[in-house]
Amino acid sequence: MKPLAALLCLFATCSTLPASPPNVLWFVVDDMSANFSCYGEKLIQTPNVDRLASEGTRFANAFVTAPVCSPCRSALITGMYQTSIGAHHHRSGRGVEKIDLPDGVVPVPAQFQKAGYFTCIGSGLASEFKKGKQSAKGAGKSGGLGKTDYNFEWDPKIYDSPDWAARKPGQPFFMQVQLAGGKLRGGTDASAIKLLASAAKQFGAATDPEKVTLPPYYPRDPVLLRDWAAFLDSVRLTDVHVGKVIARLEKEGLLENTFIIFMTDHGISHARGKQFLYNEGTHVPFIIRGPGIEKAKVRTDLIEHIDMAAISLAAAGIEIPQSMQAKNVLAADYQPRTHIFAARDRCDETVERLRSVRTDRFLYIRNFYPLRPHLQPNAYKDGKSIVQSLRNLHKSGKLDVLSEVLLFSPTRPPEELYEWTTDAWQVTNLAADPAHQSTLESLRARLDQWMKETNDQGPESESRYDSDMKVYLGKGDPEVETNIALMKQWAREGK
């Protein structure tokens, strides 16, 4: 890594870069698919995110390596696959058994800090910082700072503050703007209705549920339609927040020397979205704007969300660790990825293991527990009105065949293969099609190779599961306790 003085020399001798090290700012948004107008969403307008795209480079085919918050964030902050660093189980390392990063793996903020950057994580709005809604000093791993949600042990001192306002004059900053995104709509029908009312007040009209287009496996049930409409309004509200941060950068004279990445931590929280490896769960918006970035450019090559770590370090002139799995996709000698990978493991109390590999045409998914249903019992998801409505429709026999097969089959195929470029919602499994056997075998072998090469750490031990489950037990939630018992029973049965 280069000290700040060396960075200044580096940037001063390169005509394509600014005279001083750029600030680096990430927008990281919760639970949101690429439903922005620059990505083709027609029902709403998102002028501020669209501006980033028009003044920068938009990646059409960016995917997360984990479709749930904590593994995804553990990966993005290290530039490593969550399966390689043992951080792949959602909300793991919270019990007595902790997770330590492998030797040589250093969180990105610590690398920026060592290079002389001021590191911060918060809302990006000076007004909130000054009002004391976010403490300048913080209080441990959560107090005062914006969302982190890392599964491994880390030192909160890697962040200097929730906001860049506290830095020294002229000091470059690395800022993570953390936004609630899709979580703004809540998880109940009542909270969705409330958000729609709020959007109507702010924008003059809320998104009309009847105009919403749902994936083909979701019924046009009023609860689901209201939820999706509220989700789209949460996209609009997110866009407003992005605009406020951009306006602040402009007002402070920082925008043109700030390297910005906008992305989300996974797709929409839904029955086949968040937590799953289909496009609905893994495809995310990814936009870069800043010094040296080509304007109004759209790239269609495959990238992984962890690449933002390498991209950002390179933009600041900081050496990318050789062991980092992220790639600087902006490098002059960059060779586009031919395959990208994703994994889903335990989420809260629900044990799962899915792996996938994707090419520019096909998506291969392996289900390690095919004897379990797609919608395994999970207190978090089962507490959502949309999942409750789906389960009720299933019980009453009111779902169509596609919904029944994709959402409520008691078992799953061990392997799935989709031509995702033509099958946008991945509804036609080609794994048993003789015409695609060579593709299936090739991707099966490539996934095996990746798992071996990257030291995929696989299922967690029973003792680690028990350690993490102690955080969930004893809180008066019988559903969670019942689900934990069921997970253990299924494991004993080889299911």
Span 9-59, pLDDT tens digits: 334 333 344 458 999 999 999 999 999 999 999 999 999 999 999 999 999
Identify the pLDDT of residue 434.
98
Long-range contacts of 483-489 (CB under 8 A, 24+ apart): 483/349, 483/350, 483/377, 483/378, 483/379, 484/349, 486/377, 487/349, 487/350, 487/351
Q: Which domains does the chain have, with CATH numbers?
A: 4-338 (3.40.720.10), 344-492 (no CATH)
Q: Which two tokens stand for residue 482?
A: 């019942």
Provide mean pLDDT across the span 191-200: 98
The backbone region for 371, taken as left when phi is positive above 0, alpha when psi lies in -120 to 50, beta otherwise, is: alpha
Provide mean pLDDT across the span 363-376: 98
Hey, how many other C-beta atoms are within 10 angstroms of the C-beta on 293? 16
Identify the pLDDT of residue 144.
79
Q: Which two tokens stand for residue 120?
A: 């911060």
The mean of the pLDDT values for the chain is 93
Alpha helices in 77-116 (DSSP H): 108-114
Identify the pLDDT of residue 126.
80
Identify the pLDDT of residue 131.
58
Q: Which two tokens stand for residue 259?
A: 């390297």
Among 237, 330, 337, 236, CA closest to 287: 330
Among 359, 289, 286, CA closest to 62: 286
For residue 457, pLDDT over 60 is answered with: yes
Amino acid at 43: L
Identify the pLDDT of residue 140.
39
Q: State the Cα–Cα distance between residues 342 and 357, nearest whole angstrom.
A: 7
Residue 62 banded pLDDT, cuts 50, 70, 90: very high
Per residue in 431-441, pLDDT tens? 999 999 999 99
* Cβ 255 vs Cβ 297: under 8 Å: no
For residue 362, pLDDT over 90 is answered with: yes
Regarding predicted confidence, which is higher, 133 or 121? 121
Q: Which two tokens stand for residue 100?
A: 């330590």
Identify the pLDDT of residue 18.
47
Q: State the Cα–Cα distance between residues 329 and 253, nearest whole angstrom.
A: 28
CA dihedral 400, 403, 408, 412 (to 10 degrees): 120
Burial of 194-209, coded b for 16+ CB within 10 Å and e otherwise, reads: ebbeebeeeeeebbeb
Per residue in 371-389, pLDDT tens? 999 999 999 999 999 999 9
Residue 401 parent element (H or E): helix 401-408
**DSSP SS3 for 276:** coil
Identify the pLDDT of residue 130.
65
Per residue in 272-315, pLDDT tens? 999 999 999 999 999 999 999 999 999 999 999 999 999 999 99
Residues 6+ apart with CB under 8 A from 33: 264, 267, 268, 273, 280, 283, 284, 285
Task: Compute the chain's Rg from CA coordinates.
Answer: 22
| Percent over 90 (pLDDT), the chain | 91
Sheet strands side by side (includes 363-367): 340-344, 354-358, 363-367, 415-418
For residue 136, pLDDT over 50 is answered with: no
Q: State the Cα–Cα distance between residues 445 and 437, nearest whole angstrom.
A: 12
